[in-house]
């Protein structure tokens, strides 16, 4: 296996051996476009984000990871949801196999020039209507859909 492989509701998924709190951000620019990165490890489009480190809050992890992966500063302005679906398993080349555990924030992208970090092959802002045509994992699509749902009155918990 190279890099990372996501499984969803797949009986062939390897057994989970790790649970790591992670954060992601649906970051909107002034035009209402969403910041996405194309990951180097699986070539799929994804929200910027990653694992929380000791000594930081989950929100500061989201801000740090977004900056590392896109070179864009973000302001966290809300909570999209908490995503812990045991059917979403992430296997890494080093043998680690995680169950999804992601706190997804809504954010405001501050002005700046996007630039891919070491984990990103490409970084761009997309209009919401463009996102459906992109190769991305269903869990990413779900987070984006939840962030765009104007009828939602509370964060997703699942």
Per-residue pLDDT reduced to its tens digit, 26-41:
999 999 999 999 998 8
- Check if CATH label 3.90.190.20 holds for domain 4-150: no
Q: What does each C-alpha distance from 49 to 5, 10, 14, 85, 131 come to in angstroms?
A: 16, 24, 23, 17, 18
Q: Where are the domains of the chain?
A: 4-150
Report which DSSP code applies to 119: T
Mean pLDDT of 80-94: 95
Contact 70, 115 (CB under 8 A): yes
pTM: 0.94
Closest by CA to 76, choosing from 25, 147, 36, is 25
Euclidean distance between CA atoms 141 and 30, whole angstroms: 21
Look at 34-38, 117-121, 151-155 and tell me which has the smallest mean pLDDT: 117-121
Task: Name the residues annotated as catalytic.
Answer: 122
């Amino acid at each position: 296996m190279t890099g990372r492989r996501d499984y969803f509701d797949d009986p062939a998924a390897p057994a989970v051996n790790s649970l790591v709190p992670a954060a992601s951000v649906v970051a909107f620019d002034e035009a209402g476009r969403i910041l996405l990165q194309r990951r180097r490890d699986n070539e799929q489009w994804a929200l910027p984000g990653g694992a929380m480190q000791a000594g930081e809050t989950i929100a500061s992890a989201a801000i740090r990871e977004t900056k590392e992966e896109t070179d864009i500063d973000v302001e966290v302005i809300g909570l999209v949801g908490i995503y812990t679906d045991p059917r979403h398993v992430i296997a890494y080349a080093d043998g680690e196999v995680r169950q999804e555990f992601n706190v997804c924030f809504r954010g405001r992208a501050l002005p700046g020039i996007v630039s891919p970090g070491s984990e990103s092959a490409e970084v761009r802002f997309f209009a919401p209507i463009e996102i459906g045509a992109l190769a991305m994992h269903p869990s990413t699509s779900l987070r984006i859909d939840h962030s765009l749902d104007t009828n939602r009155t509370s964060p997703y918990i699942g």
